[in-house]
Structure 1
Amino acid sequence: MTPRRIGLLHPGSMGARIGEILRAGGHEVLYCPAGRSPRTLRRAQDAGLRPVDCLEDLCEGTQILMSLCPPEAALDVAQAVAAAGFTGLYMDANAVNPERMRVIGGLVTKAGGTIVDGCLIGPVPTRQETTRLYLAGDARLTGEISALFNGSAVEVVVLDGQVGAASALKIAHSSFAKTSRVLAALAHALAAEYGVGQALTDEARRRSRPALAEPDFFATVAARAWRWAPELAQAAESYRTVGLPDTMLRGAEELLRTWNEHKDIEHAHIDQLLRELRTDQQHGT
């Protein structure tokens, strides 16, 4: 494709690597060093990114802006870009929820730009088949972003959905991935109190199927919820006893109790079970 001039906000570990990949594809990648840490500046320099003096120069001198920043900064960055009058294509690939993504999209389009919703899943891409960039929005715009990564280590997947769909995927995936790691840490903390940490690790290694890839198993969970909920109540007490937080266990216990009516019935439909987890359904609204 025709080489493009792309602005990057900002070259963190993921952003710098994305910038390096885009440069390898023949594109010019710019960034604004103002306010960046020495580590970020080194990464940008190592990636061959070209510095500009300020955000206004970045907005005026580029056709595409890519925002890859901490999620709590995503809205502020979009507001600053809109205030600078950017009228090109803005891709937000931050871990923000769909509602926040739609607000960001509104800011960008009101200022005269166009928006693509993106999310990156996987590690910093150093080889093929590890990192995917999911895109959602207008097909012409997602196609333009997708073409930038042809032949690179980033696999692009365009979703059937409007702005917010890619963000929803990121939140759904990361909420499980991050929470499960925290739960694993809690489980090992409890096991360590009783000297059974290695036994816990050994037992876990006997299971190889990822829970997130088994939605068909939800009906079995619901059928067992009547006894799993009290078990988690016991677990919560164990965590409290040794001074560990029980909040996540109590939350899981509460959710399991919403499935009590499915006791020993393993054929409930997945859609029904997922609806029952909604708080508005639980409260009868």
Structure 2
Amino acid sequence: MPTIAILAQGAMGAGIGRRLAQRGCTVLTSLAGRSEASARRAAEAGMRDATPAELAGADIFLSVLPPAEAQATAEWLAPALAAAPRKAVYADCNAISPRTALLVAGIIAPTGAGFVDGGIIGGPPREDGYTPVLYVSGEEAGRLMPLNDHGLEVRLTPGGVGAASALKMSYAGITKGLVALASAMILAAGRNGAAEGLRAELERSQPQLLAWFGRMVPPMYDKAYRWVGEMEEIADFTGPEAAAIYQAIAGFYATMATDNAGPKEATAALSAFLRKG
């Protein structure tokens, strides 16, 4: 059974850790500087606190963090990876642009550890058997395929480092971009007295879209703060053709995160719109 190191212990990291631990893997993490909530999630998932040296000695290291932490985490672990007598494979599974993935790969390369570019599509693993897909690319990507035998779904993406990140950026740019556009228009319609009419027209001409909004918009409220950095990475990914669009969407999600942490006026308006009918 392989030993897997995972940083950190958010919903996705803990979910992956729980699935691997349930399938018999040893799952390590680091609780240094983490909150009590993170420590609780780690314990409930069967993840064991470990030193950097112990993390670097794992068979596979999975970086599952907010995008802004990807480079700093690689830099933090690099000395331990360099000192490890047996070289792990370091998989960056964060929602980062291909350019950022190459920067992280450059941090890992001098350590001698293998590097895999990864992108997760879907929500955290659930007890009902649901599993997200981890897309991987790069010369070392095959080293993650044994995780398919331990409850995860790993798929190879053709191409080198950056290909899996590009797939993740493209998919998230569509889905999370559409969530932002729908939310912004629903809120604007409500402020201008057109909510009822918009709802009726969506029911008439776009019932599938309306149903999709009902599934996808409410879960956004608690995730909006994390999606800010992801939209900024997508802006970097798209380049000048659409960077301004995704920078604006990042700003929208920052506003939604503030509302969700405070008055919850916007989230209440969205939920009320989506519950009607």
**Is the TM-score greater than 0.5?**
yes
Distance 2:38 2:106 in 1: 29
Instruction: Show the counterpart of 2:53.
Output: 56
Given that 2:189 and 2:195 are in contact with CA atoms closer than 8 Å, whether structure 1 keeps it comes out as yes
Distance 2:47 2:53 in 1: 17
Distance 1:79 1:113 in 2: 13
Instruction: Show the counterpart of 2:112.
Output: 112
Question: Shift of the alpha carbon at 1:39?
Answer: 0.7
What residue identity is the alignment partner of 1:56? A
What residue identity is the alignment partner of 1:28? T
Instruction: Show the counterpart of 1:96.
Output: 96
Q: TM-score, normalised by structure 1?
A: 0.67
Given that 2:5 and 2:62 are in contact with CA atoms closer than 8 Å, whether structure 1 keeps it comes out as yes
Q: TM-score, normalised by structure 2?
A: 0.69
Percent identity between the aligned chains? Answer: 33
Distance 1:15 1:49 in 2: 10
What residue identity is the alignment partner of 1:88? A
Distance 1:157 1:99 in 2: 21
Question: Shift of the alpha carbon at 1:248?
Answer: 5.1
Range with bigger deviation, 181-190 or 116-125: 181-190
The number of residue pairs the alignment matches comes to 207
Given that 2:116 and 2:161 are in contact with CA atoms closer than 8 Å, whether structure 1 keeps it comes out as yes
User: Can you list the C-alpha shifts for 1:52-83, whole angstroms capped at 9, x where unaligned?
Assistant: 2x323322x32221100110000000111113
Task: Give the alignment of 1:65-144 within 5 angstroms.
Answer: 65-86=61-82, 87-126=87-126, 127-128=128-129, 131-138=132-139, 141-144=140-143
Distance 1:114 1:248 in 2: 35
Aligned pair partner of 2:160 in 159, 162, 170:
162
What residue identity is the alignment partner of 2:149? N
SS in 2 for 1:195: coil
Distance 1:83 1:117 in 2: 20
Given that 1:136 and 1:165 are in contact with CA atoms closer than 8 Å, whether structure 2 keeps it comes out as yes
SS in 2 for 1:120: strand
Instruction: Show the counterpart of 1:147.
Output: 146
User: Can you list the C-alpha shifts for 1:221-254, whole angstroms capped at 9, x where unaligned?
Assistant: xxxxxxxxxxxxxxxxxxxxxxxxxx859x9xxx
Gaps of 5+ in 2: 210-243, 249-277
SS in 2 for 1:69: coil
> Which protein has greater RCO, CA pairs closer than 8 Å, 6+ apart?
2
**Greater helix share, 1 or 2?**
2
Gaps of 5+ in 1: 211-246, 252-285
Instruction: Show the counterpart of 1:26.
Output: 24
Given that 2:81 and 2:88 are in contact with CA atoms closer than 8 Å, whether structure 1 keeps it comes out as no
User: Can you list the C-alpha shifts for 1:99-139, whole angstroms capped at 9, x where unaligned?
Assistant: 1101111211211110111111111121446521111112x
For the aligned residues, what is the CA RMSD?
2.2
